[in-house]
Amino acid sequence: MNNIQQPHFPHRHLLGIAELTAADIMYLLDKAEEAVSVSRQRNKKKAVLQGRTQINLFFEASTRTQSSFELAGKRLGADVMNMSVGSSSVKKGETLIDTAMTLNAMQPDLLVVRHQSAGAVELLAQKVGCSVINAGDGAHEHPTQALLDALTIRRHKGAMSKLTVAICGDILHSRVARSNILLLNALGARVRVIAPSTLLPSGIEKLGVEVFRRMEDGLKDCDVVMMLRLQRERMAGALVPSVREYFRFFGLDSEKLKLARKDALVMHPGPMNRGVEIASEVADGAQSVIEEQVEMGVAVRMAVIETLIGDNKGAARNG
Amino acid sequence: MADRVIAITGGHLVDPVQGIDGPASLLLRGGKVEAIHRGGGKIGLPEGCLEIDATNRHVFPGIIDARVHVGEPGGEHRETIASASRAAAAGGVTGFIMMPDTDPVIDDVSLVDFVRRAARDTASVHVYPSAAITKGFKGSELSEFGLLQEAGAVMLTEGRHSIRNNLALKRAMTYARDFGMVIAKETNDPDLTSNGVMNEGFSATLLGLPGIPREAEVIPLERDLRIAALTRATYHAAKLSTPESVRTLSGYKDRGLDVTGGISINHLSLNENDIGRYRTFFRLSPPLRSEEDRMAMVEAVAEGGLDIIVSSHDPQDVDTKRHPFAEAADGAIGLETLFPAALRLYHSGQLSLARIIECLSTNPARIFGLPGGSLAIGSSADLMIADIDEPWVLNESEIVSRSKNSPFEGARFTGRVLQTMVAGDIVYTK
Between B191 and A4, the higher pLDDT residue: B191
**Per-residue pLDDT, A236:** 65
Q: Is the pLDDT of residue A4 over 70?
A: no
Using the beta-carbon criterion (under 8 Å), do A203 and B202 form an inter-chain contact? yes
**Cis (ω within 30 of 0) for the bond into B73?**
yes
The mean pLDDT value of chain A amounts to 91
Best CA proximity match to A184, nearest among A152, A212, A213: A152
**Per-residue pLDDT, A312:** 64
Best CA proximity match to B369, nearest among B109, B110, B170, B184: B184
Using the beta-carbon criterion (under 8 Å), do A175 and B202 form an inter-chain contact? no
**Per-residue pLDDT, B295:** 98
Q: Mean of the pLDDT values across residues A312-316?
A: 49
Using the beta-carbon criterion (under 8 Å), do A95 and B204 form an inter-chain contact? no
Find the closest chain A residue to B320 by CA distance.
A95
> What pLDDT band is residue A237 in, cutting at 50, 70 and 90?
low
> What pLDDT band is residue A87 in, cutting at 50, 70 and 90?
low
Which residue out of A140, A173, A234 would a mutagenesis test of the B interface target, given it has the greatest number of B Cβ atoms within 10 Å? A140
Q: A73-112 b/e with 16+ CB inside 10 Å = b?
A: bbbbebebeebebeeeeeeeeebbbebbeebbeeebbbbb
Using the beta-carbon criterion (under 8 Å), do B202 and A95 form an inter-chain contact? no
**Per-residue pLDDT, A95:** 80
CA distance linking residue B104 with residue B84, whole number of Å: 18
> What pLDDT band is residue A90 in, cutting at 50, 70 and 90?
low
**Per-residue pLDDT, A231:** 82
Find the closest chain B residue to A125 by CA distance.
B324
Which residue out of B199, B215, B278 would a mutagenesis test of the A interface target, given it has the greatest number of A Cβ atoms within 10 Å? B278
CA distance linking residue A249 with residue B185, whole number of Å: 44
Best CA proximity match to B388, nearest among B7, B97, B21, B87: B21
Contact partners, residue A87, CB within 8 Å, separation at least 6: none
Q: Is the pLDDT of residue A233 over 80?
A: no
Using the beta-carbon criterion (under 8 Å), do A204 and B205 form an inter-chain contact? yes
CA distance linking residue B335 with residue B404, whole number of Å: 12
Q: A114-141 b/e with 16+ CB inside 10 Å = b?
A: bbebbbbbbbbbeebebbbbbbbbbbbb
Q: Is the pLDDT of residue A2 over 90?
A: no
CA distance linking residue B69 with residue B75, whole number of Å: 11
Q: Is the pLDDT of residue A213 over 90?
A: yes
Using the beta-carbon criterion (under 8 Å), do A137 and B319 form an inter-chain contact? no
For residue B204, the distance in angstroms to the closest alpha carbon of chain A comes to 8
The low-confidence residues of chain B, meaning pLDDT below 70, are 1-2
Helix ranges, B158-264 (H): 166-178, 190-193, 202-207, 215-231, 243-254
For residue B317, the distance in angstroms to the closest alpha carbon of chain A comes to 13
Angle between helices A63-75 and A22-40 (to 10 degrees): 80
Q: Is the pLDDT of residue A219 over 60?
A: yes
Query: Hey, which residues does B146 pair with through a beta bridge?
Result: none
Using the beta-carbon criterion (under 8 Å), do A96 and B324 form an inter-chain contact? yes
Q: Mean of the pLDDT values across residues A184-189?
A: 97
Angle between helices B215-231 and B243-254 (to 10 degrees): 10
- Tell me the percentage of chain A whose pLDDT exceeds 90: 80
Angle between helices B166-178 and B215-231 (to 10 degrees): 50
B270-318 pLDDT per residue, tens: 999 999 999 999 999 999 999 999 999 999 999 999 999 999 999 999 8
Element (H, E) at B332: none
Residue A207 touches chain B, beta carbons under 8 Å:
yes
The CA-atom distances, in angstroms, between B42 and each of A234, A242, B14, B26 are 75, 82, 19, 11
Best CA proximity match to A54, nearest among A305, A319, A307: A305
* Chain A residues in contact with B196 (beta carbon < 8 A): none
Q: Is the pLDDT of residue A99 over 90?
A: no
**Per-residue pLDDT, A7:** 54
Find the radius of gyration of the CA atoms of chain B.
21
Q: Is the pLDDT of residue A33 over 80?
A: yes
Burial of residue A149 (number of CB atoms within 10 Å: 0-12, 13-18, 19+): buried
CA distance linking residue A170 with residue A250, whole number of Å: 10
> What pLDDT band is residue A315 in, cutting at 50, 70 and 90?
very low
Q: Is the pLDDT of residue A317 over 60?
A: no
Q: Is the pLDDT of residue A58 over 60?
A: yes
B122 by DSSP, 3-state: which? Answer: helix
Residue A49 touches chain B, beta carbons under 8 Å:
no
Residue A3 touches chain B, beta carbons under 8 Å:
no
CA distance linking residue B349 with residue B58, whole number of Å: 17
Structural contact between residues B54 and B9, judged by C-beta atoms closer than 8 angstroms: yes
Which sign does the torsion angle of CA B301, B305, B310, B312 carry? negative
Contact partners, residue B364, CB within 8 Å, separation at least 6: B64, B65, B66, B97, B308, B310, B370, B373
> What pLDDT band is residue A3 in, cutting at 50, 70 and 90?
very low
Element (H, E) at B117: helix B109-122
> What pLDDT band is residue A100 in, cutting at 50, 70 and 90?
confident
Using the beta-carbon criterion (under 8 Å), do B201 and A122 form an inter-chain contact? no
Query: Hey, which residues does B183 pair with through a beta bridge?
Result: B156, B235
For B71, other C-beta atoms within 10 Å of its C-beta total 23
